[in-house]
Structure formats: C-alpha cells, structure tokens
C-alpha cells in the first residue's frame, strides 16, 4: 500500500546545480521511481503510464519564471494528450 505525503523545497541554486537536479528527475522518470528528499523529509513517487506535462513561462517587469509540472494518476483513466511541445 502506498502512503500519502508531501514534499516541498525552495532554495537558491546555481544553473549548474538546477541542471543536475533536472537530470536526476529525468533519470527517475525513466526508471519509474523518483525519490525526493532534504533535511525536512522525503517522498518516493512511481510515475507510470501516460503523464501530463504542463509548462508555463513568463517575463514581467524584470522577473522571469519557468514552471514545470508533471502529473499522473496511480489508478485512473489516462489523461488526454495534446502532443509534445517544442523547446529550444
């Protein structure tokens, strides 16, 4: 039985560190198991099947933001698909 839980983390990091973290996330997605942890807690997720990807980006008054969200359901019908975005 899988247990429910939450993991949240926010900190200042270099581009190099964030790139390494994103690479770890892609590896975890590839193998179907993501474990996220810091000094406050940990969670393990098991992504499988079709996943929903949401990408948002904005620039306003000198502040920039990029949000990446990947969601899936452990036991529901697959989500509707739009196709892959183009990123360069």
Give the tens place of pLDDT for each residue, 25-36.
999 999 999 999
Q: Is residue 84, in this structure, part of any structural domain at all?
A: no
Local confidence band at 14 (pLDDT 50, 70, 90 cut-offs): very high
pLDDT greater than 70 at residue 87? yes
Q: Is residue 33, in this structure, part of any structural domain at all?
A: yes
The number of CA neighbours under 13 Å toward the Cβ of 59 is: 1
- Report d(CA 55, CA 69) in Å as an integer: 7
pLDDT of residue 8: 93
- Report d(CA 22, CA 17) in Å as an integer: 9
Instruction: Give the Å distances, CA to CA, from 26 to 1, 34, 60.
Output: 25, 9, 29
Closest Cα to residue 53, out of 83, 33, 76? 83
Range of the domain at 53: 15-71
pLDDT of residue 31: 97
Q: Is residue 27, in this structure, part of any structural domain at all?
A: yes
Q: Is residue 3, in this structure, part of any structural domain at all?
A: no
Give the tens place of pLDDT for each residue, 39-79.
999 999 999 999 999 999 999 999 999 999 999 998 766 55
Q: Is residue 22, in this structure, part of any structural domain at all?
A: yes
- Looking at the 3D structure of the chain, how many domains does it have? 1
């Amino acid at each position: 039985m899988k247990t429910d839980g939450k993991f949240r983390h926010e900190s200042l990091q270099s581009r190099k560190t964030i790139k390494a973290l994103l690479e770890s996330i892609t590896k975890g997605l590839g193998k179907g198991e993501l474990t996220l942890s810091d000094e406050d807690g940990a969670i393990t997720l098991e992504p499988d099947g079709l996943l929903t990807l949401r990408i948002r980006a904005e620039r306003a008054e000198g502040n920039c933001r990029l949000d990446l969200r990947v969601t899936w359901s452990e036991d529901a019908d697959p989500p509707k698909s739009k196709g892959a975005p183009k990123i360069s």
